[in-house]
Amino acid sequence: MEDVEKGNTNMKKSSSLQDVLGSKNNLKADSVFRFEDVRYRVKTKDGETEILHGIDGCVRSGEVLAILGPSGAGKTCLIDALTMEMKGGDNYGKVTLNGQDLTRDVFTRNCASMTQQDNHWAFLTCRETLDYAADLCVNDTEEQKRARIDAILSTVGLNDCADTKVGNQFLKGLSGGQKRRLSLAVSLLTDPKVLFLDEPTSGLDAAAAAAIMSFLKELAQATNIAIVCTIHQPSTAVFNGFDRVMLLSSGRVAYLGTSKDVLPYFEKIGHKMPANTNPAEYMLDLVNREFTDPKQVDDILDRYEKSYTGLPCGSYEDDLKETGGVPNNEHLGNSTLAETMTLFRRHGLLVFRDPTLYVARAVMFLNACIFFGIIYIKSREREQDQVFSRMWLLVWHIGVPTSLGVVAVFSYNEEFAAMKREIKNGMLRPFSYLFSNALIQLPLMLFLGVCAVSVSGYGMADWYAPHYIQVLLVYALMLWAYEAAAQVFSICFTNPLIGMLVYMNLWFGGFLFNGILIDEKDVVWPFRAFTYVNIMKWALRAIVYLEYSDATFNACTESDLLCFSNSAETMLGTGMKVPGSEVLDSMGKTYRLYSNEDTVAFDAMMVLVIGMGFKLWYFYLFYTKTRKVKEILPPIGDVAK
Ligand SMILES: Nc1ncnc2c1ncn2[C@@H]1O[C@H](COP(=O)(O)OP(=O)(O)OP(=O)(O)O)[C@@H](O)[C@H]1O
């Protein structure tokens, strides 16, 4: 409720925004967004089903087109089609901005969409969110950018919580309504000509919803933006404020026109609204198949279709003549380097603030490895009996932290949703994110490596200290390769749980076929492929070699169950220390993986090659998925119905 009150009092008239945008926006040509014969078809087991049956509509700069309809009417399908959102079926129709066909580039440079889901960075404040967004995509001077942000913050009524963190289910922050307004603020930064909002009032109470909707109307007029939004049950005052209203039912139009003409139209076709009724509710009830006679609904839809004589706003050829096509968006666009550096700063800050991706993992690495350090504490003695225990401690140090990479699958999946929206709304290029992410990962993998091996390995288990740096580098490389795999699986599947399961399978395959649990020559094809494409195996062999090769072990004694000596000088009774090279050769008799041959460079190369494979796969998926939009196919009319 507090938020609602703030929303009502703080959502100022948009004049401050107009003042800031004025110099450029006054020059902005009027825009006309038009859609004709929009159809949406999905494949079903019985063939093909048409969900939208040829919808027409248009909206001009400064206007709000509100799409209403009972549940299941097709509002979301329509807005998804107009915003080229990826989803199952195919969209057909003619959709134009200023007479030019809507393509991905036209959309990205001139439109912004706000979905029902707010994808924000939970650990940034409102102002930081806007600062970074402006640094990413606005090419004005610093002073102009700050003035623009201040204007937008006060316009959307977020001044009072400018320094509040956005928050999420774990961190208390902005309320639902404030998050919606922040989404709106970010969309406004790119100075769109058309703004799409799917249920901007969802999850808000009546007063907050009314405040948002009347704000949108003022915003459209003050900034000359065309707004298309879907809405559930607006109040009478909000409804009367809409410039154009589209009423949908069963994927067809029941009414399209001004809000003041709605009641006379329905009265003319025999549906007079009773006194003291909310017109929006009345209309929705009239066309709601679930609670009204379906024959009446069909009759209303048929009557509209019969009386329809074309859109009340000319044709797309007129739009082109009138507006001169789609102008360049002067505010938008920075170099890839500038975007990369901004993202590096933003995600660098998030690494420290948001514990989920790295900090929590660092703590888990430390704790898990210390646990194994305690369990295998006797392996710190360089006795013959402890040779295999030392190796098993290394195995756990490699196996357990890499399994925790599963957390990254979940985090990257969430991050991907936010990045996808920013890229689609024209805020940055996909490669800027990929470069900045690659840059951030390098020091972080080293840091995670330090957390994993330092205390438990070199502190508690007395690993061979002169090779600390080499071990750390191989270890960080291994973590990097697993991280790349986690990134692939985070965006391969929409549902992060599937990605997590696939990651765990990869990890389990790595553990099972790393040469310790089963001899690789005993593994049948095609599973034997996993003994080659196995990050863990190559990393383990390199790290074991670095740990053992230059160290020495105590001489064999009568009480030792095993003796890792293979020369007469160090055999039982000589009392000579056993060099690591001999121990490695002896270990090779049990595990084919080990030998006294130095293969560290080769092993590291193998990890690098596998990691690069995952990384390139991830780059490809990220690039194609963030650039992919649902193309609108040419109109098909009623022929294929
Ligand atoms: N891929 C699909 N396959 C089959 N039916 C679909 C598919 N996508 C949407 N529909 C159906 O299309 C109709 C319109 O769905 P849509 O989500 O657009 O409704 P809506 O008006 O936004 O409803 P609500 O207000 O409840 O969100 C629904 O009956 C829905 O079940």
141 with 214, same domain: the answer is: yes
Q: Which amino acid is at 435?
A: F
Minimum-distance ligand 1 atom for the alpha carbon of 69: 21
**Beta carbon of 42 within 6 Å of any ligand 1 atom:** yes
* More confident of the two residues 211 and 494: 494
382 with 308, same domain: the answer is: no
CB atoms within 10 A of CB 494: 11
- What pLDDT band is residue 398 in, cutting at 50, 70 and 90? very high
- What pLDDT band is residue 185 in, cutting at 50, 70 and 90? confident
Residue 187's CATH number: 3.40.50.300
- What pLDDT band is residue 200 in, cutting at 50, 70 and 90? confident
Span 476-516, pLDDT tens digits: 999 999 999 999 999 999 899 999 999 999 999 999 999 89
The answer, yes or no, to whether residue 394 has pLDDT greater than 60, is yes
End-of-domain residue from the set 291, 318, 345:
318
The answer, yes or no, to whether residue 324 has pLDDT greater than 70, is no
- By alpha-carbon position, which residue is closest to atom 29 of ligand 1? 72
**Best probe residue, ligand 1, of 51, 67, 201 (max atoms within 8 Å of C-beta):** 51
- What pLDDT band is residue 332 in, cutting at 50, 70 and 90? low
Q: Residue 176: enclosing H or E segment and its boundaries? A: helix 176-189
Query: What is the average pLDDT score of the chain?
Result: 86
- By alpha-carbon position, which residue is closest to atom 25 of ligand 1? 71
Q: Which segment, 110-119, 200-209, 247-256, 558-567, is predicted with the most confidence on average?
A: 247-256
426 with 485, same domain: the answer is: yes
Q: Which of these ranges, 371-375, 396-400, 524-528, 626-630, has the smallest mean pLDDT?
A: 626-630
Q: Which segment, 84-98, 388-402, 561-575, is predicted with the most confidence on average?
A: 388-402
283 with 420, same domain: the answer is: no
357 with 237, same domain: the answer is: no
Minimum-distance ligand 1 atom for the alpha carbon of 73: 21
**Beta carbon of 71 within 6 Å of any ligand 1 atom:** yes
- What pLDDT band is residue 25 in, cutting at 50, 70 and 90? very low
Among the residues of 385-534, which ranges form H helices?
387-403, 406-424, 430-453, 468-492, 496-512, 529-532
**Distance of CA 288 from the midpoint of ligand 1 (Å):** 14
Q: What average pLDDT score do residues 455-480 get?
A: 96
In a domain, 326, yes or no: no
- What pLDDT band is residue 380 in, cutting at 50, 70 and 90? very high
Judge whether 136 and 341 are in contact, CB under 8 Å: no
Minimum-distance ligand 1 atom for the alpha carbon of 89: 1
Distance (Å, rounded) from C-alpha 86 to C-alpha 632? 11
pLDDT computed for residue 8 by the predictor: 43
Distance (Å, rounded) from C-alpha 496 to C-alpha 414? 8
Judge whether 178 and 3 are in contact, CB under 8 Å: yes
pLDDT computed for residue 153 by the predictor: 86
- What pLDDT band is residue 21 in, cutting at 50, 70 and 90? low
**Distance of CA 50 from the midpoint of ligand 1 (Å):** 11
In a domain, 330, yes or no: no
Judge whether 46 and 100 are in contact, CB under 8 Å: no
The share of the chain scoring above pLDDT 70, in percent, equals: 90
Distance (Å, rounded) from C-alpha 82 to C-alpha 632? 8
**Distance of CA 32 from the midpoint of ligand 1 (Å):** 27
Minimum-distance ligand 1 atom for the alpha carbon of 51: 12
pLDDT computed for residue 4 by the predictor: 39
In a domain, 636, yes or no: no
What φ, ψ does residue 249 adopt, rounded to 5°? -155, 135
Distance (Å, rounded) from C-alpha 125 to C-alpha 490? 26
pLDDT computed for residue 11 by the predictor: 47
146 with 203, same domain: the answer is: yes
**Beta carbon of 75 within 6 Å of any ligand 1 atom:** yes
End-of-domain residue from the set 318, 346, 364:
318
pLDDT computed for residue 627 by the predictor: 84
Judge whether 602 and 406 are in contact, CB under 8 Å: no
In the block, which residue shows the tokens 């009546």? 206
- What pLDDT band is residue 366 in, cutting at 50, 70 and 90? very high
**Beta carbon of 69 within 6 Å of any ligand 1 atom:** yes
Q: What average pLDDT score do residues 607-611 get?
A: 97
Q: What average pLDDT score do residues 438-462 get?
A: 94
Q: What average pLDDT score do residues 601-617 get?
A: 97
Span 65-79, pLDDT tens digits: 999 999 889 999 999
Judge whether 7 and 157 are in contact, CB under 8 Å: yes
* More confident of the two residues 29 and 93: 93
**Distance of CA 80 from the midpoint of ligand 1 (Å):** 11
In a domain, 634, yes or no: no
Q: What average pLDDT score do residues 182-210 get?
A: 81
CB atoms within 10 A of CB 42: 13
Among the residues of 62-159, which ranges form H helices?
75-82, 104-110, 126-137, 142-155
* Residue 288 Cα distances to 38, 68, 254, 278, 521, angstroms: 22, 11, 11, 15, 68
In a domain, 444, yes or no: yes
Overall domain count for the chain? 2
**Distance of CA 299 from the midpoint of ligand 1 (Å):** 22
**Distance of CA 601 from the midpoint of ligand 1 (Å):** 56
Of 40, 92, 33, 85, residue with least CA distance to 60: 33
Please report, in angstroms and rounded to a whole number, the separation of the first and last CA atoms in the chain.
48
- What pLDDT band is residue 329 in, cutting at 50, 70 and 90? low
Q: What average pLDDT score do residues 319-331 get?
A: 66
- What pLDDT band is residue 520 in, cutting at 50, 70 and 90? confident
pLDDT computed for residue 3 by the predictor: 43
375 with 259, same domain: the answer is: no
The answer, yes or no, to whether residue 637 has pLDDT greater than 90, is no
Residue 392 token pair:
């098993």
pLDDT computed for residue 109 by the predictor: 84
369 with 484, same domain: the answer is: yes
116 with 246, same domain: the answer is: yes
Q: What average pLDDT score do residues 382-390 get?
A: 89
pLDDT computed for residue 211 by the predictor: 75
In a domain, 638, yes or no: no
**Distance of CA 38 from the midpoint of ligand 1 (Å):** 15
Distance (Å, rounded) from C-alpha 323 to C-alpha 342? 35
- What pLDDT band is residue 395 in, cutting at 50, 70 and 90? very high
- By alpha-carbon position, which residue is closest to atom 18 of ligand 1? 74
End-of-domain residue from the set 318, 348, 383:
318
**Beta carbon of 74 within 6 Å of any ligand 1 atom:** yes
CB atoms within 10 A of CB 438: 15
**Best probe residue, ligand 1, of 43, 75, 82, 288 (max atoms within 8 Å of C-beta):** 75
- What pLDDT band is residue 5 in, cutting at 50, 70 and 90? very low
pLDDT computed for residue 171 by the predictor: 84
Q: Which of these ranges, 349-358, 384-393, 448-457, has the smallest mean pLDDT?
A: 349-358
The answer, yes or no, to whether residue 126 has pLDDT greater than 90, is yes
- What pLDDT band is residue 435 in, cutting at 50, 70 and 90? very high
Residues whose CB falls within 8 Å of the CB of residue 365, separated by 6 or more in sequence, listed in order: 401, 404, 448, 451, 452
**Distance of CA 82 from the midpoint of ligand 1 (Å):** 15
**Beta carbon of 192 within 6 Å of any ligand 1 atom:** no
451 with 478, same domain: the answer is: yes
In a domain, 167, yes or no: yes
Q: Which of these ranges, 217-231, 377-391, 409-423, has the smallest mean pLDDT?
A: 217-231
**Beta carbon of 77 within 6 Å of any ligand 1 atom:** yes
469 with 605, same domain: the answer is: yes
pLDDT computed for residue 52 by the predictor: 92
302 with 360, same domain: the answer is: no
Q: What average pLDDT score do residues 278-293 get?
A: 86
Q: Residue 356 belongs to what domain range? A: 336-627
**Beta carbon of 70 within 6 Å of any ligand 1 atom:** no
Q: What is the DSSP string of 146-174?
A: HHHHHHHHHHTT-GGGTTSB---SSS---
In a domain, 601, yes or no: yes
